[in-house]
Amino acid sequence: MGSVKDLLVIKSPNGGLGEGIFEFSDRYSVFDYGEMPDKIDGKGASLCLISAYFFEKLEELGIKTHYLGLVEDNEVKRLEELSSATNRMRVKLVRILRPSGRDYSIFAKEKTNFLIPLEIIYRNKIPEGSSLLRRVASGEVKPEDFGLREIKPNMKLERPIVDFSTKLEDVDRYLSYDEAKRIASLSDEEFEQLKDIVLRVDDLITNEVSKIGLENEDGKIELAFDEKRRFMVVDAVGTPDECRFSFEGFEVSKEFLRIYYRKTEWYEKIKAHKGKENWRELVGKPPKLNPEVKEAVSELYMALCNEITGRKFFDVPRLGLVVKRLRELL
């Protein structure tokens, strides 16, 4: 299905909502490159369990999701019913409609049962390295576009802001609110409802992870329309791959891997070639992770899962100890 998840289709979504099983793999991807050369032990199951935790919390809030449960011993179970970790999640499936280049007219013709072609981003803080800082510096956007007087590094926002990028193009590009609403063919009312859902998801994640000392700096979600054109949270939610978390000022999400690779010659090639035709071939194969870093990142994913879910699925040190080791390695 993608660089980090596999999909087993049980029922196709072409005649209405389908069903399938996500298999969260130990693969990872950074900078839109695709599958990287290493696998990170425990990562897939950790992301699966964290996402299930948040899907079940969203259901309690009355927010629709595509989550049906976790698969263990060929049975579909709730998180609390599991006897051990699993990397398999049963979900409802929707159609993936593809734009033709930048022609999104298909989303005006179709009304139900499809993935909305937007990556929806919430921002609670503007950390160093945020794409928003680069866009402000280049003049692509202004602080006023988000109701702010200024945007600067490490700025904590009084209220979260919502941002948008494309989801189904080879290289994602950021969108204004008008562009986002237009390409997804959303009414004014639907667009406001979409933003409200994103902020409610953000609020839930922020409150939950703060209990274990994490700061939820920013994150992304995906939404789909069900068979009655109702919004439904899909894909994965609240994981350290979807969110940028920090612990005592230290990045403890996939952002750690981005920071690691930004110190390589391979990343310099990414900066030079990304967006060109065949850019992945031009940048060449990425270097493997340092073995100690790989082991520590594996422990990070598993420790985050243990502490967010409140269950010791994995035999790894506490998050504080894992972070201490990562600080030393970086």
Tally Cβ neighbours within 10 Å of residue 261: 18
Non-local (6+) Cβ contacts of 204 within 8 A are 54, 57, 58, 61, 238
pLDDT of residue 197: 98
pLDDT of residue 329: 84
Question: Which residue segment(s) compose the domain that 264 sits in?
Answer: 5-329
pLDDT of residue 245: 95
Q: Is 194:223 a contact under the CB 8 Å cutoff? A: yes
Nearest-angstrom CA–CA distance, 297 and 176: 35
Residue ranges in the chain whose pLDDT is less than 70: 1-3
Q: CATH number for the domain including 299?
A: 3.30.470.20
pLDDT of residue 34: 85
pLDDT of residue 270: 92
State the virtual CA torsion across 136, 142, 144, 149 in degrees, nearest 10: 40
Q: Is 96:115 a contact under the CB 8 Å cutoff? A: yes
Tokens of 220: 């992304």
φ/ψ of residue 34, rounded to 5: 110, -160
DSSP for 44-72 reads HHHHHHHHHHHHHHHHHTT--BSEEEEEE
Number of structural domains the chain divides into: 1
pLDDT of residue 256: 83
Decide: residue 202, CB within 10 A, 0-12 exposed, 13-18 middle, 19+ buried: buried
